[in-house]
Amino acid sequence: MNSNHPNGILCRNFLNSHKKLGLMPSKRLLYESDDAIVLTSFGSISLKLYPDCKPHNLKISKLQKGLVLTLNGRELIDEGIGFGAPVVKYADKTFFSGSSKVFIDRSNSIVEKVFTIDMISKKRTKKGYYLNDFLYSSLLKFVTKVYIRSKAIRSIRSYLNLDKAFRVFTDFVKTEPRGWISFTYTPIQKGVSISVDLSGLKRQKCNGIMVLNEQGSSFFRRYFDSDGLELVDDWIGAWDKVEADEASLSDINNKLAFSLRNLPNATLYRGREQLEDMLSWAGLGYFLKSNLLNFSYSIRINGDAYD
């Protein structure tokens, strides 16, 4: 990076502060960006990236997002976390990202977002008291088992909302960082290639990493895959393993779809949840083992919206 660039000092300060935490975020020197970046556009479709937590939708408003898919200028993300965003499962807690920096190499059309793994979720009462995680989780599991045994519903979260019933809210709060994960987004023909650098993640008691690729469930209501399986709305499931070589999510009329392939060293899952004022996401995610240092994949975007 040119030290005379107006963002040069900011970028160096960010790199130095993260070195002290053991969170060195990037092997490349890219210009730092504070504005939303349109990574690529094709016809009425585009992919853009925010350097902060935008868009601030529903329960995950404080979390960093990946790429936002737009159609005719309308963001389709709802409460989804975007294409290419991390969640890390540790023995004690599940960690999310509440801080990040975005770097851009305009000459090569490459954008990198470095996610600091520094947030956990906590349950809070209306009066502001935080609940014991173990007790609340135990209650949720007990009620879920009762309903699953009845086999009366497909998705427990779609029909039973304990948070509303007990006036409990989900907060995402900052905590001691567990490292960083870098996502590099490179446009390809009708899609995006994503490279994930996991070398900055603290591995002690890490049980695995989720690489999420989500948009909004109000638009993406249909699942189909290369094995011929087709599912709509709640029948997609909240988080089910994909056995097919390729899986896709689309709107009900197949106007716009995105697809991911099953890959070695990863397990692919599908999911969708829609709950008024609470949940609105549909996505495909990879579960990675905790010892993996690098991972790469592509998202193919297709459908009648190109016509």
Distances in Å between the Cα of 227 and the Cα atoms of 47, 72, 230, 238 are 28, 31, 9, 20
Please report, for the chain, the start and end positions of each structural domain, with discontinuous segments joined by +.
8-123+172-306
Q: Which tokens go with 122?
A: 């906590």
Contact 49, 68 (CB under 8 A): yes
* Integer Rg of the chain from CA: 19
8-123+172-306 is a CATH 3.30.750 domain: no
pLDDT tens, position by position, 282-297: 999 999 999 999 999 9
- Using DSSP's 3-state secondary structure scheme, residue 234 falls into helix
Query: In angstroms, how far is the first alpha carbon of the chain from the final one?
Result: 41
pLDDT of residue 105: 83
Q: Which tokens go with 13?
A: 């300060």
pLDDT tens, position by position, 157-202: 444 455 555 565 667 789 999 999 999 999 998 899 999 999 999 9
pLDDT of residue 275: 80
Beta strands in 216-262 (DSSP E): 222-225, 230-232, 240-241, 246-250, 257-261
Q: Which tokens go with 20?
A: 């002290």
pLDDT of residue 280: 84
pLDDT of residue 123: 59
pLDDT of residue 132: 52
Hey, CA dihedral for 120, 124, 129, 132, is it positive or negative?
Answer: negative
List phi, psi (to 5°) of 196.
Answer: -115, 125
pLDDT of residue 68: 96
pLDDT of residue 214: 96
Give CA–CA dist 186/165, Å, rounded. Answer: 44
Contact 81, 281 (CB under 8 A): yes
Give CA–CA dist 118/131, Å, rounded. Answer: 20
- Its pTM stands at 0.80
- Using DSSP's 3-state secondary structure scheme, residue 292 falls into coil
User: With a cut of 70, which residues of the chain have pLDDT below it?
Assistant: 1-34, 58, 123-170, 277, 303-307
